[in-house]
Amino acid sequence: MINFSTGGPWITRFAPSPTGALHLGNARTAILNFLLARQSGGRFLLRLEDTDRERSSFAAEADILWSLAWLGLAPDEPVHHQSLRLPLYAEAVKSLLDRNLAYPCFCTEAELERDREAAVRNGLPPRYAGRCRGLDPAQRQKRLDSGEPHTVRFHNTATEDITFTDLIKGPMSIPPGAFGDFVLLRSNGWPSYNLAVVVDDADMGVNLVLRGEDHLVNTARQILLYRAFGYAQPAFAHHGLLVDAEGKKLSKRAGAASVPQCRDMGLQPQAVVQYLAGLSGALPSKRLFLSLEEAARAFQPYALGRGNAVMNMDELQALSARFFRTLSPAGLVRSIRLPDGDPWYALSPEIQEELAAGLRENAATPDELRALVPHFTAREVAYTPQVLKELVAGRPVLGALEALLAPVDPEMRLDKDQTAAMLRRAGETAGVKGRALYHPVRLALTGCESGPELAVLMVLLPAGHLTRRLRAVLEFFSPSRTEH
């Protein structure tokens, strides 16, 4: 029996419709296909199923291609477009028509809607009633010659269950009554999903179709087409869907988070890949995989569970923070984007990298790191009335620290030991310790309660900056200023 290990090398494909941004449910399917192809020494292919002429757009196509590139999922062949393969589908349908395995259907949308409503009233699944299947050949030809609009349907003659072994779910059986004679070509000549998928997968050499379990019934339809065309049937594997905490499927139409949104949130692409691949246990959760090649080697497709995978954005953000903190100092600097002319760009590359590395543990995203930069580049600190009120009691500490810093070279940076010693001596002079020592110093240096650790601030800021900020607070409370 073929399984993930004994089969292969696997030629997989990801086949999204360019009708919107790439949401995380579809991104997970792409990631699983990519890792499996890489691990088995196969190929990962990309096909854009752009046959929905009303909803497909070049903007969505560009978005999908960007999203896959951001995730690092490069296909091994040029991108395939279904809209450029229409003659191939027409030829395939003609072969079925010539063998009476398909027929033209002239039913109007109104007639089909009435059939669906009748099926619902009778408690039956909606399926085509077969109205045009038995048309007299002469009458059928006359209607075709007159140019009457029509679709082409597959003649489903199956009487036994359609069976196959799913590499994730095991033996599967779909009753032939689950669907009727399904459409192959629409009235505009464009292919249906099931026709195009089978023709394309066979033509592209795909030997494993790995996708969501919501395609199980489509798989039965496609198996019938593989048999009708005489194509080699690929292996099938249907993974559980990506759902929210309430068990609802994540999808574009439901407003699921997309790959571009992950980028805008400052998430790291490696984290998105590892999190989505590891949701069902296919990747170890504690280890960080810093390259796709490393992740592919550790990928365990047989661990993909039959159940759905529950998305937890907090967990993804936590994993992303771990990846963000592994970036090199140069990588951290590249993540900081500020307006032209910001004082940050006046710093030397060496100082920028030193600051970024020193702040690594205080930020989980580029935005958080960027928000810390003004603490080190601002010429002056802005103080709110509340902060000034709190600083009143801290003046003795600030004065003692300012006096200790006065003889230090303004361009010098203190090391950790010097910082600790200076704070200890300032506390002894002012007769305070703990929060009464550290809190006023933090407020004086930053103007806020949160931000970098005090030790980080005092190590990374030049002594002249420290002195200037402390002096600004002390001068604010000086008698001459108060009297003035």
Task: Mark the binding-site residues for ATP, compressed into ranges.
Answer: 252
Q: Residues annotated as binding site?
A: 252
The pair of three-digit structure tokens given for residue 113, joined into one six-digit string:
């809607």
User: What is the token pair recorded at 370?
Assistant: 């960027």
d(CA 225, CA 195): 8
| Spatial separation of the C-alpha atoms in residues 83 and 213, rounded to whole Å | 26
Residues facing residue 218 across a β-bridge:
none
**CA proximity to 212, closest of 185, 270, 251, 258:** 251
